[in-house]
Amino acid sequence: MMRPPPPLAAVIVGLAVALTSSLAGAAEPRGPDFAWPTPQTCRIEQSKLPAADAAVLCAGRFIARNGYTQEPPVSDEAQITSESIEWSRSVGEMLASRHGTLEPQAYGICDHGHWQEPGYTVVFRYAGGEAPDRARTVTMTPEFGDLRVEHQDFIPDVVTRRAHGCRPLDTRRR
Protein backbone atom coordinates (compact mmCIF):
# COMPACT_ATOMS: atom_id res chain seq x y z
CA MET A 1 0.00 0.00 0.00
CA MET A 2 1.39 3.40 -0.98
CA ARG A 3 1.69 6.15 1.59
CA PRO A 4 0.20 9.54 0.77
CA PRO A 5 2.79 12.27 0.15
CA PRO A 6 3.77 14.34 3.20
CA PRO A 7 2.13 17.73 3.63
CA LEU A 8 3.99 20.63 2.01
CA ALA A 9 4.88 22.10 5.43
CA ALA A 10 6.65 18.86 6.40
CA VAL A 11 8.62 18.90 3.16
CA ILE A 12 9.68 22.51 3.71
CA VAL A 13 10.72 21.85 7.31
CA GLY A 14 12.65 18.76 6.19
CA LEU A 15 14.49 20.72 3.53
CA ALA A 16 15.27 23.51 5.99
CA VAL A 17 16.67 21.05 8.52
CA ALA A 18 18.76 19.26 5.89
CA LEU A 19 20.06 22.53 4.46
CA THR A 20 20.83 24.00 7.88
CA SER A 21 22.68 20.86 8.97
CA SER A 22 24.77 20.96 5.82
CA LEU A 23 25.82 24.54 6.63
CA ALA A 24 28.10 23.38 9.41
CA GLY A 25 30.46 21.72 6.94
CA ALA A 26 30.09 24.11 4.03
CA ALA A 27 33.32 25.84 3.15
CA GLU A 28 33.34 29.25 1.51
CA PRO A 29 34.77 28.72 -1.97
CA ARG A 30 36.66 31.80 -3.01
CA GLY A 31 39.43 32.61 -5.37
CA PRO A 32 42.62 34.17 -4.12
CA ASP A 33 41.34 37.62 -5.08
CA PHE A 34 37.99 37.50 -3.18
CA ALA A 35 37.30 38.90 0.28
CA TRP A 36 34.01 39.73 2.03
CA PRO A 37 34.68 42.45 4.64
CA THR A 38 30.90 42.62 5.24
CA PRO A 39 28.10 40.33 4.00
CA GLN A 40 27.23 42.90 1.30
CA THR A 41 30.72 44.04 0.26
CA CYS A 42 32.84 42.16 -2.24
CA ARG A 43 36.54 42.89 -2.52
CA ILE A 44 38.23 41.56 -5.60
CA GLU A 45 41.57 42.44 -7.09
CA GLN A 46 40.39 44.79 -9.80
CA SER A 47 43.69 45.49 -11.50
CA LYS A 48 43.40 42.13 -13.29
CA LEU A 49 39.83 42.62 -14.56
CA PRO A 50 37.62 45.22 -16.13
CA ALA A 51 35.21 46.57 -13.48
CA ALA A 52 32.13 45.07 -15.19
CA ASP A 53 33.73 41.60 -15.16
CA ALA A 54 34.58 42.00 -11.47
CA ALA A 55 30.95 43.01 -10.81
CA VAL A 56 29.72 39.84 -12.54
CA LEU A 57 32.08 37.66 -10.49
CA CYS A 58 31.06 39.36 -7.23
CA ALA A 59 27.35 38.98 -8.03
CA GLY A 60 27.81 35.29 -8.89
CA ARG A 61 29.60 34.62 -5.59
CA PHE A 62 26.96 36.67 -3.76
CA ILE A 63 24.01 34.58 -5.00
CA ALA A 64 25.92 31.37 -4.24
CA ARG A 65 26.89 32.55 -0.73
CA ASN A 66 23.25 33.42 -0.08
CA GLY A 67 21.81 30.08 -1.19
CA TYR A 68 20.22 30.87 -4.56
CA THR A 69 22.20 28.27 -6.57
CA GLN A 70 22.78 24.53 -6.13
CA GLU A 71 26.05 25.33 -4.34
CA PRO A 72 26.00 25.21 -0.52
CA PRO A 73 25.64 28.68 1.03
CA VAL A 74 28.26 30.29 3.27
CA SER A 75 28.55 28.40 6.58
CA ASP A 76 28.30 31.46 8.85
CA GLU A 77 24.60 32.41 9.11
CA ALA A 78 25.60 35.98 10.04
CA GLN A 79 26.91 36.31 6.48
CA ILE A 80 23.52 35.49 4.91
CA THR A 81 21.82 38.61 3.55
CA SER A 82 18.05 39.10 3.60
CA GLU A 83 16.15 40.59 0.72
CA SER A 84 14.15 43.76 1.37
CA ILE A 85 11.08 41.55 1.82
CA GLU A 86 11.40 38.09 3.39
CA TRP A 87 8.51 35.78 4.23
CA SER A 88 10.61 33.12 5.97
CA ARG A 89 10.69 32.83 9.75
CA SER A 90 14.24 31.48 10.03
CA VAL A 91 17.50 31.44 8.09
CA GLY A 92 17.04 27.71 7.41
CA GLU A 93 13.56 28.28 5.96
CA MET A 94 14.84 31.24 3.93
CA LEU A 95 17.72 29.18 2.48
CA ALA A 96 15.39 26.27 1.69
CA SER A 97 13.08 28.57 -0.27
CA ARG A 98 16.00 30.07 -2.21
CA HIS A 99 17.93 26.87 -2.92
CA GLY A 100 18.50 26.23 -6.61
CA THR A 101 16.21 29.00 -7.82
CA LEU A 102 18.82 30.86 -9.92
CA GLU A 103 21.28 29.81 -12.60
CA PRO A 104 24.84 30.32 -11.29
CA GLN A 105 26.01 32.10 -14.46
CA ALA A 106 24.93 35.69 -15.02
CA TYR A 107 22.85 36.36 -18.13
CA GLY A 108 23.52 40.09 -18.45
CA ILE A 109 24.79 43.27 -16.89
CA CYS A 110 23.51 46.83 -16.75
CA ASP A 111 25.69 49.89 -16.20
CA HIS A 112 23.71 51.22 -13.23
CA GLY A 113 22.96 50.11 -9.73
CA HIS A 114 19.91 50.18 -7.47
CA TRP A 115 17.30 52.73 -8.64
CA GLN A 116 19.52 53.85 -11.54
CA GLU A 117 22.28 55.02 -9.15
CA PRO A 118 25.92 54.58 -10.23
CA GLY A 119 27.02 50.95 -10.06
CA TYR A 120 26.04 47.66 -11.65
CA THR A 121 22.99 45.45 -12.02
CA VAL A 122 23.82 41.82 -12.81
CA VAL A 123 20.98 39.71 -14.21
CA PHE A 124 20.44 36.01 -13.39
CA ARG A 125 17.86 33.75 -15.01
CA TYR A 126 15.68 31.41 -12.99
CA ALA A 127 17.05 27.85 -12.90
CA GLY A 128 15.71 25.08 -15.07
CA GLY A 129 14.04 27.35 -17.61
CA GLU A 130 11.46 28.41 -15.02
CA ALA A 131 9.89 31.75 -15.91
CA PRO A 132 11.91 32.54 -19.07
CA ASP A 133 10.25 35.96 -19.21
CA ARG A 134 11.52 36.90 -15.72
CA ALA A 135 14.89 37.09 -13.99
CA ARG A 136 16.41 38.30 -10.72
CA THR A 137 19.12 40.92 -10.29
CA VAL A 138 21.96 41.72 -7.94
CA THR A 139 22.66 45.44 -7.64
CA MET A 140 25.80 47.06 -6.24
CA THR A 141 27.74 50.29 -6.03
CA PRO A 142 30.70 51.00 -8.36
CA GLU A 143 32.97 49.82 -5.51
CA PHE A 144 31.11 46.45 -5.29
CA GLY A 145 29.40 47.41 -2.04
CA ASP A 146 25.78 47.28 -0.89
CA LEU A 147 25.17 44.06 -2.85
CA ARG A 148 21.55 42.99 -2.73
CA VAL A 149 19.25 40.62 -4.56
CA GLU A 150 16.42 42.87 -5.66
CA HIS A 151 13.03 41.65 -4.57
CA GLN A 152 11.28 42.53 -7.82
CA ASP A 153 11.65 40.35 -10.90
CA PHE A 154 13.47 41.78 -13.91
CA ILE A 155 12.46 41.41 -17.56
CA PRO A 156 15.39 39.71 -19.34
CA ASP A 157 14.25 41.11 -22.70
CA VAL A 158 15.74 44.43 -21.54
CA VAL A 159 19.15 42.71 -21.65
CA THR A 160 18.44 41.01 -24.98
CA ARG A 161 17.41 44.34 -26.56
CA ARG A 162 20.42 46.09 -24.99
CA ALA A 163 18.08 48.68 -23.51
CA HIS A 164 18.73 50.99 -20.54
CA GLY A 165 22.49 50.37 -20.45
CA CYS A 166 22.10 46.58 -20.30
CA ARG A 167 23.81 43.95 -22.41
CA PRO A 168 23.95 40.15 -22.55
CA LEU A 169 27.05 38.34 -21.40
CA ASP A 170 28.87 35.77 -23.47
CA THR A 171 28.14 32.78 -21.26
CA ARG A 172 30.51 30.58 -23.27
CA ARG A 173 33.45 32.44 -21.69
CA ARG A 174 32.26 31.87 -18.12
Q: What is the mean pLDDT of residues 146-168?
A: 95
- The model's confidence at residue 29, banded by pLDDT at 50, 70 and 90, is very low
Query: According to the model, what pLDDT value does residue 170 have?
Result: 81
Cα 58 to Cα 131: distance, rounded to the nearest angstrom: 24
Among positive and negative, which fits the CA dihedral 156, 162, 163, 167?
positive
Query: According to the model, what pLDDT value does residue 13 have?
Result: 35
Q: What is the mean pLDDT of residues 24-33?
A: 44
Query: According to the model, what pLDDT value does residue 157 have?
Result: 95
Please tell me which residue, 70 or 1, carries the higher pLDDT value. Answer: 70
- In tens, the pLDDT along 99-127 reads 999 999 999 999 998 878 899 999 999 99
Please tell me which residue, 85 or 157, carries the higher pLDDT value. Answer: 157
